[in-house]
Structure 1
Amino acid sequence: MLNRLPFRALLAIGVVALVSCGQVSRLRARCLSGDVPACTQLGDMYAVGRGVERDLGRAAEMYARACDEGAADVCNTLGEIYEKTGGLEGGIERAAAMFERACTGGSAAGCLNLGLTFAAREDMTRAIALYDRSCAGGWAAGCHQLGLVYEQGDGVTKDAAKALAFYGQACDGEFVESCVNAGTIYLAGTLVPPDIPAATRLYGRGIKILDEGCAAGSDPDCRERDRLRNRLAIASQQSAPPR
């Protein structure tokens, strides 16, 4: 299950349709009366500048109202605004407080972001526990982070089997980077015996996901898809028995 799009994704794509001034006024009135979807929609509009002038301060105000009403994923979005932009005061501590509130409220994305905050403080024990909570909550990026932890031995003993398991879980959740990382482990043959069929399957899953993004007009997805295809073709040629 995927949760609400993170703030960086809202900035990258147009998720809010153009609206009239009257519609904005009605949304604001509904938000002020405690309507969480209205607050969230207004926050999105101000965050990306669709239908209104872009204003992170107002976006934060709308998101804060939704967060106060118990919308945990919106608390996470507010934390991402504080963390990833320089447009508001607060910085990392304010972001961490929002991520904690989001995670406590059930946002798997919030648990991941809180975990990354602890990792930045070199508290890997708490970070890994939060990654695990995020992954268990259905957030593919949390499973991917666990894969990285076990592949690199960051705060734990390196464990290729666990890394591949978490990467596989994230890949099944359409997290392309995990498909690539797992496929690369099988191609390299350093952590586990080389397995070209397994690498082909994982790269193929990533390529299929990227195909969808490419068809939707994402040039980066098209480029990454072609890079994976070339890499897989080279690996297949190298592993082919001599004639």
Structure 2
Amino acid sequence: MKLLISLSLLLLVLSIAYPKDLFDKEIDESTIRILEKDCSKNDVKACIGLGLIYSVGNIELRDFKKAAKYFEKACNLNSGYGCNVLAGLYVFGDGVPRDHQKAIELYKKACSLDNGESCYNLGVIFEKGIKVPKDPQKAVKYYKKACDLNNAWACNDLGIMYYLGRNLKTDKRKSAQLFEKACKLKNGYSCEILGTQYEFGDGVKKDYLKAADFHTKACELDIGSGCYSLGMLLKEGLGLDKNHEQAKKYFLKACDLGYSKGCEAYKSLETEN
């Protein structure tokens, strides 16, 4: 019986540990046997591969208990990725009893192994007080480590804490630095917030060209407010040549992305013309 799974996902995890022709066809039981043999020899990539097969494979063959077993072995072999995924199984009770404290322990281990997603998850847990008392200091510690490990959402969320002065002293210059890093890591919300900071000189020197650049990046990442903001700069000729046709294009995209102000702005320009 064949298993349907994203080959690109498996190849990403297994890297060059196996010959390319092993994955030239759909993964079948002979492939699984090879991975099982290697996992039994403590090949962490093989264990993760099996965990992925049983957790995101063909739904008819999905077996979260088996997935948990292989992710647990990977975690015991000090795979931060394995610990992180296993923690998620404990959060949702997939293949293992639901146990948030166990999940937190696993996230902590994964974070100590430099898994940025786990560090970010811990930041959210301690900021929001999810099954633990709120602890802003721990949240900042974990967000910072996750951001240092290039987790875009951690940089974004830590930036928001500095921007709003939420459990931290307000520092909009610091927030701008964090938003810029998150934007480079393709977090569209950070691009848009930073664009707005430059547009209005909010914690940074007003710069319409930079504002346009960050609004453009946000729009390219399908943030409706970014498309709208870029459209407004084009409509008013702020930092860019005034261009109502281009403005309409961005207003329409904002509208298509569900941002109502974009719909209104598009209709207004259509009426004017």
**Contact 2:158–2:178, Cα closer than 8 Å, also in 1:** yes
In structure 1, the partner of 2:181 is: 169
Give the whole-Å Cα distance in 2 for the aligned partners of 1:189 and 1:157.
19
Q: In the alignment, what sits opposite 1:127?
A: 139
Identify the structure with bigger relative contact order (alpha carbons < 8 Å, sequence gap 6+): 1
- Is 1:149 the counterpart of 2:143? The answer is no
> Which sections of structure 2, spanning at least 5 residues, go unmatched?
11-22, 243-273
Shift of 1:157: 1.4
Task: Give deviations 1:133-178, integer Å, cap 9, x for gaps.
Answer: 2222332322222111111222101211111110101112222222
Is residue 75 from structure 1 mapped to residue 114 from structure 2 by the alignment? no
Amino acid at match of 1:160: K
1:49 equivalent in alignment to 2:60: no
In the TM superposition, residue 192 of structure 1 has moved relative to its aligned partner by: 5.2
Contact 1:14 1:48 in 2 (8 A): no
After superposition, the C-alpha distances for 1:84-113 in whole angstroms (9 at most, x for unaligned) are x34342332121111101111222222221
Higher mean C-alpha deviation, range 60-69 or range 47-56: 47-56
C-alpha distance in structure 2 between counterparts of 1:13 and 1:141, whole Å: 26
Q: 2: CA distance between counterparts of 1:169 and 1:27?
A: 38
Deviations 1:28-59 (A, max 9, x none): 22212211011111111222124972222222
- Aligned with residue 15 of structure 1, among 1, 9, 19: 9
Q: What are the ranges of 5 or more consecutive residues in structure 1 without an aligned counterpart?
A: 1-10, 211-223
Aligned in 2, Cα 1:202/1:71: closer, same or farther, shift over 3 Å? Answer: same
Distance 1:225 1:60, change over 3 A: same
Instruction: Note the alpha carbon deviations across 1:203-226, whole angstroms, 9 max, x for none.
Output: 223345x3xxxxxxxxxxxxx267
Shift of 1:184: 2.9
* Cα contact 2:189–2:223 (8 A) shared by 1: no
State the AA in 2 paired with 1:77.
V
| In structure 2, distance between residues paired with 1:63 and 1:22 | 20
Count of paired positions: 217
**1:32 is matched with which residue?**
40
Is 1:139 matched with 2:151? Answer: yes
Which amino acid in 1 is paired with 2:123? G
Shift of 1:187: 3.6
- Of 123, 130, 139, the residue aligned with 1:115 is 123
Q: Distance in 2 between matches of 1:96 and 1:56?
A: 19
Secondary structure class of the residue paired with 2:62:
coil
Q: RMSD over aligned Cα, in angstroms?
A: 2.9
- The partner residue of 1:228 within 226, 229, 237 is 226
Please give the secondary structure, in 1, of the residue aligned with 2:78: coil
Shift of the 15–54 alpha-carbon distance from structure 1 to 2, 3 Å rule, reads same
Q: For structure 1, which segment, 19-28 or 133-142, has the greater mean C-alpha deviation from structure 2 after superposition?
A: 133-142
Provide the identity percentage: 25
Q: State the TM-score, normalizing by the size of structure 1.
A: 0.77
* Partner Cα distance (2:102, 2:155) in 1: 25
Give SS of 2:61's match.
coil
Give the structure 2 partner of residue 58 of structure 1.
66
The TM-score, its normalising length taken from structure 2, stands at 0.69
